[in-house]
Amino acid sequence: MDVSQRNISVFIALALLFSGIFYISQSIETNRILKQQKEAVALRVAIDMNRLPVADPFLHYAGNETELREYINSLNTVLEAQDARLTVLDINTSGAGQGEKSEVLTLSAPHRNFYVAVSLDDSKPKFTFIFPLIMAFMAVATISWIRKKGLSDQRHGIQTSEKLPEFKLVVDLYSKTMTSNRDKLVSVQLANKPLCFYLALVEFCEVNPDTILNQNKEMPKELLDLADKYFYRLVELGHTIRKRPNFTNSLEKTLSEIRAALDEVLDAFPEKKVLFYPPKAHGEGSRSKLHSYGLSGVKKSDIDIIGK
């Protein structure tokens, strides 16, 4: 089903629904108005009952038909001026009604009952049913606009995602901060030791992907040399004049600081943690000789080092 056929089907369904609701609402409102107007007419006639010249065969009273008709006409004139939905047809004591869609209102009196025959107009103007059609048309137009906007936003989102640069971790040696090229507002500053050790770990693991780095084993000399290289670069940049830190001491604390910084930087990109995150030991793994804190799959090209 193409878009135009779908819109036509939706329009027809909504038009029928809104027309049905509109018809029921109009019927309820019309009945309410008619009830109020019948009560008003009954009250008016009840007030004037004692002076109305209505024929009463039981009392052998012929009444005054001309005067009664004038009273009914004056009553109808007032009702017409008020755009009432009923017309008084007759007032009698026999209970007879006249005309189609008529109803007889009964007024009780001490010695006799009066009956007021009224004609009811419960019709509904046909032109008002254009409103449900307008509502259905507006609903279809709105639905169509929302659908098109959703498709446009989806295409825009796809285009935007296609334009996004390849994800990279960004380490700035000038400011000693870690961030990402996707969200540079999230930036974490690192101390010298964890900063240098992490960059050395990335470089070492790329060259030696199969080496198991265990805390219970001696740290490879190549890894220490790389950590020293980055530390001396910080010295060249004027960040420190202190002696070189011992990278073999408090290794777990160093790794924890690195993980904490990565947690913050990669909070919006949890899928990247597997690549950049030094693995944690779990349970017995913390003492296992098989556990390695080395990085798996990360490359120097995955990290943009500013100031190297």
Under a CB-based contact definition with an 8 Å cutoff, are residues 307 and 172 in contact?
yes
Q: Give residue 99's Cα distance to chain centre.
A: 56
For tokens 């005067």, the residue is 67
Would you state the structure tokens that stand for residue 260, as one six-digit string? 């904490």
Rounded CA gap, 101 and 93, in Å?
Answer: 20
Per-residue pLDDT tens digits for 86-107? 888 888 877 766 556 778 888 8
3-state secondary structure 67-132: HHHHHHHHHHHHHHHCCCCEEEEEEECCCCCCCCCEEEEEEECCCCEEEEEEEECCCCCHHHHHHH
Domain coordinates in residue numbering, the chain: 3-127, 169-306
3-state secondary structure the chain: CCHHHHHHHHHHHHHHHHHHHHHHHHHHHHHHHHHHHHHHHHHHHHHHHHHCCCCEHHHCECCCHHHHHHHHHHHHHHHHHCCCCEEEEEEECCCCCCCCCEEEEEEECCCCEEEEEEEECCCCCHHHHHHHHHHHHHHHHHHHHHHHHHHHHHHHHHHHHHHCCCCCEEEECCCCEEEECCCCCCCEECCHHHHHHHHHHHHHHHHCCCCCCCCCCCCCHHHHHHHHHHHHHHHHCCCCCCCCCCCCCCHHHHHHHHHHHHHHHCCCCHHHHHHHCCCCCCHHHHCCCCCCCCCCCCCHHHEEEECC
Encode the chain (308 residues) as per-residue pLDDT tens digits.
445 677 788 888 888 888 888 888 888 888 899 999 989 988 988 888 878 877 766 666 666 888 888 888 999 999 999 888 888 888 887 776 655 677 888 888 767 788 888 888 888 777 777 888 888 888 888 887 887 777 666 666 555 555 677 889 999 999 999 999 988 888 999 999 999 999 999 999 999 888 888 888 888 999 999 999 999 998 888 876 677 888 888 888 999 999 999 999 998 888 888 889 888 866 544 455 467 888 888 888 889 999 88
Give Rg (Cα) of the chain.
Answer: 46
Rounded CA gap, 247 and 257, in Å?
Answer: 13
Would you state the structure tokens that stand for residue 186, as one six-digit string? 């999230």
Rounded CA gap, 50 and 133, in Å?
Answer: 52
Nearest to 265 by CA among 149, 162, 161, 182: 182
Nearest to 91 by CA among 121, 60, 112: 112
Under a CB-based contact definition with an 8 Å cutoff, are residues 136 and 14 in contact?
yes
Under a CB-based contact definition with an 8 Å cutoff, are residues 120 and 101 in contact?
yes
Q: Which residues are CB-neighbours of 57 under 8 A, at least 6 positions away?
A: 93, 94
Would you state the structure tokens that stand for residue 124, as one six-digit string? 């509904």
Model confidence, pTM: 0.49
